[in-house]
Structure 1
Amino acid sequence: MDLKYKIKRFFRNIAIENLMTYIAASMAIIFVGDLFTNGMLSQFLAFDRAAILDGQVWRLITFLMLPQTGSPIWIVFSVYFYYFIGKATENEWGSHNMTMYFLVGAVLLIITGFATGYTDVSYLYFSLFLVFAHLDPHHRFMMFMIIPIEARWMAVIDAVFMLLEFVQAFAIYPISPAVGIAYQLPVLAAFLVYGIFFGKDHFGGLVNRFRHRDFYREMKQNKIKMSKNERDNDEK
């Protein structure tokens, strides 16, 4: 039994319906609160290892709800985007799977936070879009309101951005290796949680591609012809 199903079996009764709706609403509320407190509300809710160890345990949850932008314009798009992606993913994948994905990701981020004193939830949300694109790769978005682009290609851009963030952190190593690692671990955590839930699917698809390639190559060498319908059925 692989790791994904062991986790699901252990936590099989955990499911929060409309999880991302609550989180998106919390982002909006905290953003408004920051406007009236000059950002103090986010500081009071952010992940802070020393403060948590001093008893401010709410930060273990509230850091997941912080708005991902400080722009009054972009907060509208940000909140709607996370609501839409979360709702669509939950409808396609189920509340339990959605909850477990977010819970595992949160635990990994908390571990990195205690290990280094820093964590960043934004990469978990980036990885959530990878989930959406995996489940509905042909969903179309309108980039800049005019350019149609499928979710799978946006996911590629998303993954490349995360990898660039990871690679750029190496530039900090000559100054402070600890800081560089602290910036990299949340990226690794985001990829890890995605890999836990979908790594087998990608690996299986890759194996099948190689298997089909070798099979067709062998048929070609033996001069065996296959109709288009037979080939399509074989690839299903």
Structure 2
Amino acid sequence: MNWITKLERKFGRYCIPNLISILIGGQILVYAVELFVNQYISFYLNLDRGALLAGQIWRVITFMFVPFSGGGPLSVVLGIYFTWFIGTALEKEWGDFRFNLYLLLGMLGAVLACLCTGWADTYCLSLSLLLAFAMLYPEVQVLLFFVIPVRVKYFGLFAAALWVFSFLTAAPLGKLNYLLCMVGFAAFFGPQAARSVRAWIRREQWKRKNRR
């Protein structure tokens, strides 16, 4: 019995059902307000060390309702849809408690990253959801741009490569930020990933040995 199972048996009743729907609803609302009412709404909701230390504690939760805006409106809409799609699948696979725990660990990592480095957002948390989905459903096909069928494992590999590139090119504080924001993924999948790496190393060593 691992530590997650022990926590679930003890605290399983203390969770929020349909959490992904709540988060997605909040992101849609915030983006609508940003488009039509107040374009600066995200500045009052995002993680910011100075604001947190000044007493704006609500930011440790509200930053989750700010959609990642790495591009235009279409990018935001697709990001929200993909987050809902992945989150719904994980919630069904794990159950409410484990999904709550996964998000909570990611949130705590992001808040700690913010306190240590001055900033944090939902970028790595979104990547961690995609990586978790790829670990659980590597052979499932999704439609890229609703047209091109692509296996989820390739999305996972792309997300992993994107994270590694971002990590390697970041400044020292940025590297710490990227590490802390992935604490949820490390807690859930770290042992499995370590076993996979060790198995790959053994296979490569066996191949080299038998070429001689």
User: Structure 1 length normalisation: TM-score?
Assistant: 0.77
Preserved CA contact (<8 Å) 2:107 2:181? no
Task: Provide the residue aligned with 1:73 in structure 2.
Answer: 74
Secondary structure of 2:68's aligned partner: coil
Preserved CA contact (<8 Å) 1:119 1:182? no
Distance 1:73 1:5, change over 3 A: same
For 1:195, which of 186, 191, 199 is the aligned residue? 186
Pair member with larger Rg: 1
Task: In structure 1, give the amino acid aligned to 2:188.
Answer: F
Preserved CA contact (<8 Å) 1:28 1:75? no
Q: CA RMSD in A?
A: 2.8
Task: In structure 1, give the amino acid aligned to 2:158.
Answer: I
2: distance between equivalents of 1:119 and 1:212? 38
Secondary structure of 2:47's aligned partner: coil
Describe how 1:13-32 pairs up with structure 2 within 5 A: 13-32=13-32
Task: Provide the residue aligned with 2:133 in structure 1.
Answer: 132
1:162, distance to aligned residue in structure 2 (A): 0.7
Q: Identify which range, 19-28 or 31-40, moves more after superposition.
A: 31-40
Aligned residues: 209
1: distance between equivalents of 2:17 and 2:117? 32
Q: Please, which runs of 5 or more residues in structure 2 have no aligned partner?
A: none
2: distance between equivalents of 1:43 and 1:212? 50
Q: Please, which runs of 5 or more residues in structure 1 have no aligned partner?
A: 170-179, 221-236
Preserved CA contact (<8 Å) 1:3 1:196? no
Task: Provide the residue aligned with 2:64 in structure 1.
Answer: 64
2: distance between equivalents of 1:187 and 1:62? 20
Distance 1:165 1:101, change over 3 A: same
1:25-59, Cα deviation, whole Å (9 max, x unpaired): 11111011112344221111111222222221111
Q: Identify which range, 122-131 or 49-58, moves more after superposition.
A: 49-58
2: distance between equivalents of 1:165 and 1:107? 21
Identity percentage of aligned residues? 31
Task: Provide the residue aligned with 1:49 in structure 2.
Answer: 49
Distance 1:59 1:95, change over 3 A: same
2: distance between equivalents of 1:85 and 1:208? 28
User: Structure 2 length normalisation: TM-score?
Assistant: 0.85
1:109, distance to aligned residue in structure 2 (A): 1.0
Task: Provide the residue aligned with 1:119 in structure 2.
Answer: 120
Preserved CA contact (<8 Å) 2:113 2:181? no
1:7, distance to aligned residue in structure 2 (A): 5.3
Preserved CA contact (<8 Å) 2:20 2:84? yes
Preserved CA contact (<8 Å) 1:14 1:100? no
1:198-219, Cα deviation, whole Å (9 max, x unpaired): 122233345566778999xxxx
Task: In structure 1, give the amino acid aligned to 2:66.
Answer: L
Secondary structure of 1:73's aligned partner: helix
Distance 1:49 1:138, change over 3 A: same
1:154, distance to aligned residue in structure 2 (A): 0.8
Distance 1:114 1:100, change over 3 A: same
1:142, distance to aligned residue in structure 2 (A): 2.0
